[in-house]
Amino acid sequence: MEAYLLDWANLLLRWLHLIAGVAWIGASFYFVMLDSSLTKPARKQDVERGVSGELWAVHGGGVYQSQKFLLGPQGEPLAENLHWSKWEAYTTWLSGMGLLAIVYWFGATTYLIDQQVMALTPATAIAISIGFLAGGWVVYNLLCKLLRGRDNLLAAIIFVSICVVTWVLFQLFSARAAFLHVGAMMGTIMAANVFFQIIPGQKKVVAQIRAGDTPDAEPGIIGKQRSVHNTYFTLPVLFIMISNHYPMTYSHEHGWLVLIFIMLAGVLIRQYFVLRHSHRASPALPAIAVALLLAMIWYLSPQAVDSEGASEVSEAQIAEIIERRCVACHARQPTQPGFVAPPLGIVLESPAEIQNHAERIAATVQTRYMPIGNLTGMTDQERASVASWFAQLRPQ
């Protein structure tokens, strides 16, 4: 019953995480587009009111006019009914942490720890996990303060730091958990930017405007910087959110390098769209991103096994490997703790069932996606035997 209820908690939190994430990212993308698309006000009266830029748009059968006041409206009070974009960020982060706790902390021995990578106890692994999430924000925030006004250098150091963290995490956790923790660390930084910098700065400026004081420009400068960082984190984080469904990425022996190249492609694609809003886009940016992704597809392509040169593997040998390494989870009544049903409904208890899923078995075993966390201790020799067996079934 406990595993069943955890599955429901996982599903509902994942749904909430997706809904809140769509709302947060949608609002973020919209305001980046809006800020980049503003033009000088057409009317002198608007300039005198303090309007620094405006955008006319059409959507949903109506025409909209958006205006930006850098220092608030001049000669008139600030509206009381202000919309604050914050709960989307907080809900996304809180639901994400809930998922992290349910899947990777509660299920640390299954999903977080890979004994062949590092023999950690669940308590130690969870402490390291929390340390990376909190430490990532502390280091990032310190870098932003130390390198104030040197944005290009700051961006380069942040990217290099994330690359180093990616490599380190692959030396500590399972490959799947390492991928996820890179995204969770960046997501934590994004939410912390909203909570600790952007919203407090906006509240300070609003209070100054309502008090009749000249607003301090400092919070706006900081908020703008952190918003820019958040928008470049977005596509890498979104990729990591869906990557657990595609083990050919994180299960590669150089999965950390794969993630770095894919994150870089995401940053280049985001930069293209940011520049496109202000009509300064360069087609070279998406072209380089596509080249990086194609290079990754080629690099990750599985090596064909020579069915003639490979040693003959009998059905009995494969059945024995599957029974010893896979059936604990992939049975009608799983015996592996934490599983109430076979993953994806795949049952491997009979020769016919093994044959029906032969291609999936070979792919997940060769990429090391299965067994999850290598809980059952599948050896490299057994993986090679599965590859040879499948090559015999489907000769090239």
Same domain for 380 and 326, yes or no, is yes
Range of the domain at 360: 315-393
Same domain for 192 and 276, yes or no, is yes
Mean pLDDT of 211-240: 93
Same domain for 122 and 249, yes or no, is yes
Same domain for 356 and 282, yes or no, is no
CA distance 107 to 117: 17
What lies within 8 Å, CB to CB, of 44 at 6+ separation is: none
Same domain for 61 and 208, yes or no, is no
Whether residue 6 lies inside any domain: the answer is no
Same domain for 144 and 281, yes or no, is yes
pLDDT tens sequence across 49-75: 999 999 999 998 899 999 999 888 998
Last residue of a domain, one of 236, 271, 300: 300
Same domain for 290 and 381, yes or no, is no
Least confident of 6-10, 66-70, 221-225: 6-10
Whether residue 89 lies inside any domain: the answer is no
Same domain for 266 and 388, yes or no, is no
Mean pLDDT of 160-179: 96
Same domain for 281 and 321, yes or no, is no
Is pLDDT of 308 > 60? no
**Residue 251, class by beta-carbon neighbours within 10 Å (0-12 exposed, 13-18 middle, 19+ buried)?**
buried
pLDDT tens sequence across 12-32: 999 999 999 999 999 999 999
Burial track 5-34 (b if 16+ CB lie within 10 A, e otherwise) = ebeebbeebbebbeebbebbbeebbeebbb
pLDDT tens sequence across 172-218: 999 999 999 999 999 999 999 999 999 999 999 999 999 888 888 89
Whether residue 86 lies inside any domain: the answer is no
Number of domains composing the chain? 3
Cβ-contact 140, 160 below 8 angstroms: no
Same domain for 106 and 144, yes or no, is yes
Interior CA angle at 112 toward 381 and 346, to 5°? Answer: 60
Whether residue 18 lies inside any domain: the answer is no
